[in-house]
């Protein structure tokens, strides 16, 4: 979907997300220096900052009622667990004191067991309710974050996608959001429980035997220092893992969608090796994490066991001279174990929180980024300047006025270089006329269409619709006035009818089946669609692979005209269609062009001959403009030379 942005913007239906599709990205390796600055990945911050934590915590605000209820239930279940060693101590003492009176011992044990069973049932129920509340809140937080990341990403300008890696964006959307959501709910719950258990157990240790408690707590300061060091390391490593995972996802995603190329060049073994290299690099980073984790948790466990040993030693001595009962020693030992386990829990809470913080930094970058060209009306603009954000009745005159435009590019990681494409380009397309744009390959024909659709803004000059600078127009409204058929149309993996409906300016539900069929008839698609097994309900496969090139184009034409646009922008397919398909597509275009302003990026002589005007692009300017006969009459004209050399 992210790679299909031009199509989406063209068709405007941002709310209909049907599947992942390939956008034609011939210049993936180019990226723009001036825009790069606004989206370049920030160097990972090493230390958890309070503002990061606050922002992360703010995500759980809408769920605070559920989370607070969960914490309440957590306190109940943890309180019951903490009371357990105390009761065990009492039971041991009861057994010790009543061991000679079997009947009395049995009565006491029955009484205590019944009471404890009730308590345990309550604890179990509280825990179950807590898990449900926390988990559902976590899933809602993840959903909200995914929605926010998706909508912010999808509304970025096209240049952003030119230099973003789709797999990486997908990874942010799926893996990072899950990590953050979980660190905010389940992890926080575990952290709170562990902290509560640790504090309560320490309290009970002091209550049961202050001297033994002092011996045990000597271990806490070194473990705390270790936890802080380890937490920072984990946060840094999480960023690396997520980045490398994104690179692996990117590779897999690109190869799956380009499977025909892989198969045609028999590159399966090569691709499997490449992917394995990517996963190896993920593995190597996670291996470092595993080492750090092993060292940390190993030390914590050893420290915990050491405490138990010290308690047994000094507790045994205290018991021998009567300063401690056997029940109290048992209870104390259990509390010491609790403290050990809880410190472990607090440490893993801290490390998971750091992982969540690491992942969240990438998400904030995406969520906070303001698109350089808005995909949706800028808040306040449509209301405040309603007069110029939409036009009343569109005549369809299009004017490129002294347009200078450059793609900023350069190989990834290289010094960015400006590719000056247009300098001072002037072109007027009268309302209702059909203009064929011709020129050598790479002269910027498709770019003219991109400027009209406002995928990019010119560096200088203006693009005007009915005399109005399109930068002042509501972008959604503007794109609704233009029907666009790209050179390699992408269809979504839904039915033919749904693909055609996708072009609707308003909600696609407002387009009736009759409207769909009327558009298909005009696009010469009705005949073949009716012959498909399920007619208009036939699924077309990913990117429409189940249809032929000519069929895909005719469905795309129907999609472009279903909203009845005033302006048509047609980028002719360069790939050769068979004679029958070419005739059908050309005939369809002639029919839909009636009564509309049409700009065709033309490759076929038949299109060029039938156009009212032909605009010839050369050296970043409009070199010639005139009818076919006029231009052919210029013996040294650019157009004449192009036709002679057939280099259209
Ligand atoms: N997104 C982009 N980023 C950087 N450079 C680009 C981008 N898109 C196109 N270009 C470059 O701009 C130039 C013009 O491209 P454009 O697609 O407009 O040419 P064209 O005349 O339509 O070519 P063709 O007839 O081969 O389709 C090319 O050199 C191309 O490499």
Summarised one tens digit per residue, pLDDT across range 369-384 is 988 888 876 655 444 4
Q: Does the structure show a pLDDT above 70 at 356?
A: yes
Note whether residue 329 is domain-resident: yes
Please say if the pLDDT value at position 647 is more than 70: no
Closest residue CA from atom 17 of ligand 1: 446
Task: Tell me whether residue 387 is in a domain.
Answer: no
Give the N- to C-terminal CA distance of the chain in Å, as an integer.
31
Q: What is the CATH number of the domain that holds 262?
A: 1.20.1560.10
pTM equals 0.72
Q: Which domain holds residue 185?
A: 57-368
Domain contains 169: yes
422 lines ligand 1 (CB under 6 A): no
What's the gap in Å between 571 CA and the centre of ligand 1?
A: 13
Evaluate: CB of 620 within 6 angstroms of ligand 1: no
Nearest CA to ligand 1 atom 23: 442
Residue 247 resides in a domain: yes
Q: Can you give the pLDDT at residue 465?
A: 93
308 lines ligand 1 (CB under 6 A): no
| Highest mean pLDDT of the ranges 38-47, 337-346, 606-615 | 606-615
ipTM over 0.85: yes
For residue 615, the model assigns a pLDDT of: 93
Helices (H) and strands (E) in the chain, counts: 26, 10
Residue nearest to atom 25 of ligand 1 (CA): 441
Give the residue whose CA is nearest to atom 24 of ligand 1.
441
Question: Pocket of ligand 1, candidates 447, 602, 623: which has the most ligand atoms within 8 Å of its Cβ, to mutate?
Answer: 447
At 578 the pLDDT is: 66
Whose Cα sits closest to atom 16 in ligand 1?
A: 444
Is there a contact between 627 and 615 (Cβ–Cβ < 8 Å)?
Answer: no
More confident residue, 321 or 11: 321
pLDDT score recorded for residue 292: 85
With a CB cutoff of 8 Å and minimum separation 6, the contacts of 246 are 165, 167, 168, 171, 172
Q: What angle do CA 540, 543, 549 make, to 5 degrees?
A: 80
Q: What is the pLDDT of residue 458?
A: 94
Confidence of residue 363 (pLDDT cuts 50, 70, 90): confident
Nearest CA to ligand 1 atom 30: 442
Q: Tens of pLDDT along 62-71?
A: 888 888 898 8
In a domain, 406, yes or no: no
- Checking phi first, is residue 169 left (phi over 0); if not, alpha (psi -120 to 50) or beta? alpha
Residue 185 included in any domain: yes
Within a domain: residue 152? yes
Ligand 1 pocket test target in 445, 458, 622 with most atoms within 8 Å of CB: 445
Cβ–ligand 1 contact at 208 (below 6 Å):
no
What per-residue confidence (pLDDT) applies to 37?
A: 32
Can you give the pLDDT at residue 103?
A: 84
Query: Tens of pLDDT along 104-152?
Result: 888 888 888 888 888 888 988 988 898 888 888 888 888 888 898 998 9
Q: Check if 446 has its Cβ closer than 6 Å to any atom of ligand 1.
A: yes
User: What is the pLDDT confidence band of residue 646, given thresholds at 50, 70 and 90?
Assistant: low
- Mean of the pLDDT values across residues 170-199? 81
- Over residues 300-317, mean pLDDT: 81
Residue 631 near residue 637, CB atoms below 8 Å:
yes
Ligand 1 center–CA 443 separation, angstroms? 7
- Asked whether residue 348 is assigned to any structural domain, the reply reads yes
Cα-to-centroid distance, 579 and ligand 1 (Å): 28
pLDDT at 200 over 90: no
Number of domains in the chain: 1
Structure tokens at 52: 């990061």
pLDDT of residue 574: 56
**Residue 45, pLDDT above cutoff 60:** no
Using one digit for the tens of pLDDT, what is the confidence trace for 49-83?
677 778 877 877 888 888 889 888 888 888 888 88
Q: Is the CB of 443 under 6 A from ligand 1?
A: yes
Closest CA to 112 of 92, 136, 141, 128: 92
- Output the average pLDDT for the chain: 80
- Give the position, in ligand 1's atom list, of the atom nearest the Cα of 158: 1
Which of 23, 421, 571 is the pocket-test mutation for ligand 1 (most atoms within 8 Å of CB)? 421
């Amino acid at each position: 979907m992210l790679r299909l942005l031009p199509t989406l913007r063209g068709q405007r239906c941002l709310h209909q997300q049907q599947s992942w599709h390939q956008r034609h990205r011939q210049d993936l390796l180019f990226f723009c220096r001036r825009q790069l600055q606004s989206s370049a990945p920030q160097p990972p911050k090493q230390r958890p900052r309070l503002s990061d934590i606050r922002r992360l915590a703010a995500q759980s605000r809408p769920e605070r009622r559920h989370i607070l209820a969960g914490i309440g239930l957590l306190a109940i279940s943890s309180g019951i667990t903490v009371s357990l060693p105390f009761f065990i101590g009492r039971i041991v003492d009861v057994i010790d004191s009543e061991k000679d009176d079997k009947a009395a011992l049995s009565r006491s044990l029955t009484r205590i067991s019944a009471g404890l069973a009730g308590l345990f049932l309550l604890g179990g129920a509280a825990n179950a309710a807590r898990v449900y509340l926390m988990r559902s809140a976590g899933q809602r937080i993840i959903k909200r974050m995914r929605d926010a990341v998706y909508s912010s990403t999808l509304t970025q300008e096209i240049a952003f996608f030119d230099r973003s890696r789709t797999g990486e964006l997908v990874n942010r959307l799926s893996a990072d959001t899950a990590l953050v959501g979980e660190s905010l709910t389940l992890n926080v719950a575990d952290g709170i429980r562990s902290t509560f258990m640790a504090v309560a157990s320490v309290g009970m240790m002091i209550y049961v035997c202050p001297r033994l408690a002092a011996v045990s707590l000597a271990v806490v300061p070194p473990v705390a220092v270790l936890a802080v060091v380890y937490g920072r390391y984990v946060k840094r490593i999480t960023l690396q893992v997520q980045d490398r995972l994104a690179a692996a996802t990117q590779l897999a995603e690109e190869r799956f969608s380009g499977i025909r190329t892989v198969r045609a060049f028999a590159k399966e073994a090569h691709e499997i090796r490449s992917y394995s290299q990517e996963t190896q690099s993920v593995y190597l980073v996670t291996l470092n994490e595993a080492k750090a984790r092993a060292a940390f948790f190993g030390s914590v466990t050893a420290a915990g066991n050491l405490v138990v040993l010290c308690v047994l030693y000094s507790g045994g001595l205290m018991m021998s001279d009567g300063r401690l009962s056997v029940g109290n020693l048992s209870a104390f030992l259990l509390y010491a174990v609790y403290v050990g386990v809880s410190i472990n829990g607090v440490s893993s809470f801290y490390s998971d929180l750091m992982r969540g913080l690491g992942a969240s930094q990438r998400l904030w970058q995406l969520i906070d980024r303001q698109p350089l060209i808005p995909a949706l009306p800028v808040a306040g603009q449509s209301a405040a300047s309603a007069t110029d954000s939409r036009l009343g009745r569109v005549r369809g005159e299009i004017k490129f006025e002294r347009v200078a435009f450059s793609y900023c590019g350069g190989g990834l990681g290289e010094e960015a270089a400006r590719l000056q494409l247009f300098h001072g380009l002037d072109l007027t397309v009268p309302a209702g006329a059909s203009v064929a744009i011709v020129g050598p390959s790479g002269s910027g024909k498709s770019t003219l269409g991109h400027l009209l659709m406002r995928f990019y803004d010119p560096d200088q000059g203006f693009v005007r619709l009915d005399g109005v600078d399109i930068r002042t127009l509501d972008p959604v409204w503007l794109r609704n006035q233009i029907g666009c058929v790209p050179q390699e149309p992408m269809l979504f993996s839904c039915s033919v009818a749904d693909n055609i409906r996708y072009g609707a300016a308003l909600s696609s539900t407002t387009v009736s089946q009759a409207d769909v069929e009327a558009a298909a008839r005009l696009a010469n698609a009705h005949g073949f669609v009716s012959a498909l097994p399920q007619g208009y309900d036939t699924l077309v496969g990913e990117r429409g692979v189940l249809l032929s090139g000519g069929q895909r184009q005719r469905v795309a034409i129907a999609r472009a005209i279903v909203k009845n646009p005033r302006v048509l922008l047609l980028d002719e397919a360069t790939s050769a269609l068979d004679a029958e398909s070419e005739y059908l597509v050309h005939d369809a275009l002639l029919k839909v062009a009636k009564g509309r302003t049409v700009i065709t990026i033309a490759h076929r002589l038949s299109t060029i001959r039938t156009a009212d005007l032909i605009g010839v692009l050369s050296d970043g300017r409009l070199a010639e403009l005139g009818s076919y006969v006029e231009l052919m009459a210029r013996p040294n004209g650019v157009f004449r030379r192009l036709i002679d050399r057939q280099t259209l």
